[in-house]
């Protein structure tokens, strides 16, 4: 009897022999988090091969930067990872500061750390919201946006915009914080752990959630390193690498926090990693508020918005009118030439800025090492052998933003 | 820090769907809590001062004209190059007269650099965000239109133009020496470098108080 069954199965297989077929997922698919297109080569529902196509959102930020002064490029960095634009602002600013050799005042460092962690919270909240929505848990989506709204309101208070913040400047921050901001943020941090507990109540042990995430998209530690993954995507695989710990910038050396590390490297571990990171961010924000020192918010030798470098600020201030200012802006030979690479830990991973300067007021070349681009490169590896429905969970778990990927 | 978690379920949890019931209980609890939704067209959120919205040229209360002196700083610093200014020069005094001041709001990226660099506080981004339209033409603001934007803003929000304070007119936390004379306006103490806030004993206090 059993033999018979096996035989008939064989026959059916032979009769139905077919070529693997290809379907295009995206670029308008709502669960690809933007305009990502994946060409999936399928055998039934199993993925044989997956080819990502990127570049639908290419705006040429790197090329634009070659014609704009360092201050003028800053608003463009808002549009990279538009979910957590504050983090991009900070990463860009510390890169330019290293190029120009500017030391940022303590107060600005603390403020930057606060806003960077707030950006991490907004990023992770939106990640959790959309990731859960993709997998089918809609309530989490609504609850996450409730807290994200509070954070965006606070962004609006300090910089005048909710999404395209442009908050930092080279040498510090553009606006000081207010008492109302500090108090509302402190109240938020007191409340937030209970909110995280709410999300966890909904999905942490939910059997559908576990079925969709555990053992899906597994990346071993060696593979994760060789694929160039960073951020929670890498730490979910059990590799201890965090730019905040290993190459500290701003006020991170002065605060006490831990880097959560997973072990299995599947979608569930990456989810746990980000949830723990939210707790850590919350505690960093609290420490920074309590230790916020007084003092100036911008370095005295930092270049102004219009005046390209600090040493000439006085000269530029005397040359009140256009010709003088434009002349200073365009024909300057005072920047240090050379190249510099600085990275920062943004919610998605390690965001790096690479500048090649030939001494002028504009960079000769700017390169952005965007984590999303590299994470999309790892998708074929993760998707191979999985089911079509798992692709959605995997894209969600590596947390890609196409604005940053295509820049 | 290695994350520890246990997703195994005991018999009761497996049979009675406890984790799902817990989730449902949470949503049921939330059903009776206060709603956070703002019913937008009926209620509006109050914006914070310094929200970067619709452009305007401040009408000076004394001269009833714009304060712009055609220094070209805003046009120079604008990353999107959406500001264009034409001016003429007086032969004798070399004084500048603004011939036209145009902002293309569809090109603008609302970074607020123009209002921050303006040495006489002429251009400002007002806290006004509802100005959608069907054609492109209404978004091309010329000088007349920009001054009208200011009048409309003042009228709609019932503010005193003399008392209007925006963090971009005098950036918070900057010392007076860093600012051109036109930007040295009176602001709430919290916005000045001396009166900046720090955290003490569970509340935000002025740094001044802590010293004394």
Helix (H/G/I), strand (E/B), else coil: A240 = coil
Q: How confident is the model at residue A282 (pLDDT cuts 50, 70, 90)?
A: very high
pTM above 0.80, yes or no: yes
Helix (H/G/I), strand (E/B), else coil: A154 = helix
Q: How confident is the model at residue A310 (pLDDT cuts 50, 70, 90)?
A: very low
ipTM of the complex: 0.88
A352 strand-pairing partners? A343, A369
A149 in Cβ contact with A286 (< 8 Å): no
User: ∠ CA(B46), CA(A305), CA(A343), 5° rounding?
Assistant: 90
The token pair at B173 is 């936390």
Task: Tell me, yes or no, whether A313 lies in a domain.
Answer: no
Domain boundaries, chain B: 55-157, 176-211
CATH number of the CATH domain containing A210: 1.10.645.10
**Which of A82, A380, A399 lies closest to A233, judged by CA?**
A399
Comparing alpha-carbon positions, the chain A residue that sits nearest to B74 is A306
CA distance A28 to A402: 12
pLDDT of residue A92: 92
pLDDT of residue A311: 45
Mean pLDDT of chain B: 86
Contacts of B20 in chain A (CB under 8 A): 206-207
DSSP B35: P
Task: Tell me, yes or no, whether A126 lies in a domain.
Answer: yes
A-B contacts (CB, under 8 Å): 158
pLDDT of residue A16: 54
B190 in Cβ contact with B210 (< 8 Å): no
Q: How confident is the model at residue A29 (pLDDT cuts 50, 70, 90)?
A: confident
Q: How confident is the model at residue B72 (pLDDT cuts 50, 70, 90)?
A: confident
**Which residue in B27, B109, B178 is closest to A139 by CB distance?**
B27
User: Are A182 and B204 an interchain contact pair (Cβ–Cβ within 8 Å)?
Assistant: yes
A249 in Cβ contact with A376 (< 8 Å): no
**Which of A361, A311, A365, A306 lies closest to A336, judged by CA?**
A361
Q: How confident is the model at residue A315 (pLDDT cuts 50, 70, 90)?
A: low
Domain of residue A287: give its range: 61-101+103-300+340-353+361-406
pLDDT digits 0-9 by tens, A84-115 = 899 999 999 998 888 877 888 999 999 999 99
> Which strand (E) or helix (H) includes residue A42?
strand A37-43
Residue A30 has pLDDT above 80, yes or no: no
A49 in Cβ contact with A41 (< 8 Å): yes
**Which residue in A260, A294, A306 is closest to B196 by CB distance?**
A294
**Conformational region of residue A176, where left means phi above 0, alpha means psi within -120 to 50, and beta covers everything else:** beta
Q: Which of A12-26, A42-56, A309-323, B147-161 has the lowest mean pLDDT?
A: A309-323
* Mean pLDDT computed over B4-30: 84
A350 in Cβ contact with A95 (< 8 Å): no
CA distance A370 to A374: 7
User: B140 touching A, CB under 8 A?
Assistant: no
Residue A301 has pLDDT above 70, yes or no: yes
How many other CB atoms are there within 10 angstroms of residue B119's CB atom?
18
pLDDT of residue A1: 44
Contacts of A198 in chain B (CB under 8 A): 26
A107 in Cβ contact with A296 (< 8 Å): yes
A396 in Cβ contact with A135 (< 8 Å): yes
CA distance A121 to A151: 8
CA distance A121 to A125: 6
Which of B:7-66 have CB within 8 Å of A? 7, 9, 13, 17, 19-20, 22-23, 26-27, 30, 36, 47-48, 50-52
Min CA distance, A353 vs chain B (Å)? 19
A153 in Cβ contact with A165 (< 8 Å): no
User: Are B113 and A272 an interchain contact pair (Cβ–Cβ within 8 Å)?
Assistant: no
Mean pLDDT of chain A: 83
pLDDT digits 0-9 by tens, A128-180 = 999 998 888 888 898 999 899 999 999 999 888 888 888 998 888 888 888 88
Task: Tell me, yes or no, whether A231 lies in a domain.
Answer: yes
A313 in Cβ contact with A328 (< 8 Å): no
Task: Tell me, yes or no, whether A296 lies in a domain.
Answer: yes
Task: Tell me, yes or no, whether A42 lies in a domain.
Answer: no
**Which residue in B77, B190, B205 is closest to A178 by CB distance?**
B190
A61 in Cβ contact with A80 (< 8 Å): yes
pLDDT of residue A297: 87
Residue A126 has pLDDT above 80, yes or no: yes
CA distance B123 to B121: 6
Task: Tell me, yes or no, whether A316 lies in a domain.
Answer: no
Contacts of A297 in chain B (CB under 8 A): 173-174
Q: Which of A221-235, B42-56, B170-184 has the lowest mean pLDDT?
A: B170-184
User: Are A176 and B52 an interchain contact pair (Cβ–Cβ within 8 Å)?
Assistant: no
User: Are A306 and B73 an interchain contact pair (Cβ–Cβ within 8 Å)?
Assistant: yes
CA distance A210 to A89: 36
Instruction: Tell me the percentage of chain A whose pLDDT exceeds 90.
Output: 19
CA distance A165 to A156: 8
CATH of B55-157 given 1.10.260.40, 3.40.1190.20, 3.40.930.10, 3.30.70.3270 = 3.30.70.3270
How many other CB atoms are there within 10 angstroms of residue B12's CB atom?
8
Comparing alpha-carbon positions, the chain A residue that sits nearest to B79 is A72
Considering only the C-alpha atoms of chain A, give the largest distance between any 2 of them, rounded to a whole number of Å: 99
> How are the residues of chain B apportioned to helix, strand and coil, as percentages rounded to the nearest 5?
30, 15, 55
**Which of B99, B112, B35 lies closest to B68, judged by CA?**
B99
């Amino acid at each position: 009897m059993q033999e018979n069954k096996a035989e008939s199965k064989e026959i059916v297989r032979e009769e139905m022999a077919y070529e693997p077929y290809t379907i295009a997922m995206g670029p308008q698919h709502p669960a690809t988090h933007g305009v990502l297109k994946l060409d999936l080569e399928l055998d039934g529902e199993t993925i044989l091969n997956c080819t990502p196509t990127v570049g639908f959102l290419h705006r040429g930020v790197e090329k634009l930067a070659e014609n704009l002064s360092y201050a003028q490029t800053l608003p463009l960095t808002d549009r990279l990872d538009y979910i957590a634009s504050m983090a991009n602002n900070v990463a860009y600013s510390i890169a330019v500061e290293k190029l120009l050799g500017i030391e940022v005042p303590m107060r600005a460092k603390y403020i930057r750390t606060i806003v960077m962690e707030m950006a991490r919270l907004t990023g992770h909240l939106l990640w959790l919201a959309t990731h859960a929505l993709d997998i089918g848990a809609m309530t989490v989506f609504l609850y996450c946006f409730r807290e994200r709204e509070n954070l965006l309101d606070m962004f609006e208070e300090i910089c005048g915009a909710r999404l395209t913040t442009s908050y930092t400047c080279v040498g510090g921050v553009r606006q000081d914080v207010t008492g109302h901001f500090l108090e509302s943020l402190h109240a938020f941090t007191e409340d937030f752990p209970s909110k995280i507990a709410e999300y966890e109540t909904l999905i942490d042990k939910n059997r559908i959630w576990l079925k969709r995430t555990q053992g899906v998209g597994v990346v071993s530690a060696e593979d994760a390193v060789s694929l160039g993954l960073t951020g929670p995507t890498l730490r979910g695989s059990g590799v201890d690498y965090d730019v905040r710990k290993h190459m500290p910038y701003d006020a991170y050396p002065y605060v006490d926090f831990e880097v959560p590390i997973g072990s299995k490297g599947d979608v569930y571990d990456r989810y746990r990693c980000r949830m723990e990171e939210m707790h850590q961010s919350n505690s960093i924000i609290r420490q920074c508020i309590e230790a916020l020192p007084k003092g100036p918010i911008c370095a005295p030798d930092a270049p102004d918005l219009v005046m390209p470098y600090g040493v000439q600020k006085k000269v530029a201030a005397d040359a009140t009118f256009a010709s003088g200012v434009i002349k200073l802006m365009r024909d300057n030979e005072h920047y240090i030439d050379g190249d510099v690479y600085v990275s920062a830990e943004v919610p998605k991973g390690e965001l790096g800025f690479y500048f090649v300067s030939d001494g002028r007021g504009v960079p000769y070349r700017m390169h952005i090492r965007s984590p999303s681009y590299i994470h999309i490169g790892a998708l074929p590896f993760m998707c191979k052998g999985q089911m079509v429905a798992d692709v959605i969970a995997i894209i969600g778990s590596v947390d890609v933003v196409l604005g940053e990927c295509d820049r | 820090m290695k994350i520890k978690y246990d997703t195994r379920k005991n018999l009761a949890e497996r049979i009675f769907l406890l984790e799902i019931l817990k989730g449902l209980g949470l949503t049921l609890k939330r059903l009776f809590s206060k709603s956070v939704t703002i019913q937008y067209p009926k209620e509006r959120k109050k914006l914070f001062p310094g929200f970067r919205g619709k452009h305007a040229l401040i009408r000076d209360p004394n001269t009833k004209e714009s304060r712009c002196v055609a220094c070209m700083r805003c046009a120079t610093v604008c990353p999107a190059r959406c500001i264009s200014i034409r001016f003429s020069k007086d032969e004798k005094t070399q004084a500048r007269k603004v011939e036209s001041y145009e902002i293309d709001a569809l090109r603008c990226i609302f970074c607020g650099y123009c209002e921050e660099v303006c040495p006489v506080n002429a251009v400002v981004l007002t806290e006004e965000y509802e100005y959608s339209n069907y054609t492109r033409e209404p978004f091309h603001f010329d000088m007349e239109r920009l001054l009208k934007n200011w009048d409309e803003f003042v009228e709609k929000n019932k503010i005193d133009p003399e008392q209007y304070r925006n963090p971009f007119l005098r950036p918070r936390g900057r010392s007076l020496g860093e600012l051109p004379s036109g930007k040295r306006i009176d602001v709430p103490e919290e916005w000045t470098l001396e009166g900046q806030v720090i955290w003490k004993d569970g509340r935000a206090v002025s740094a001044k108080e802590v010293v004394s």
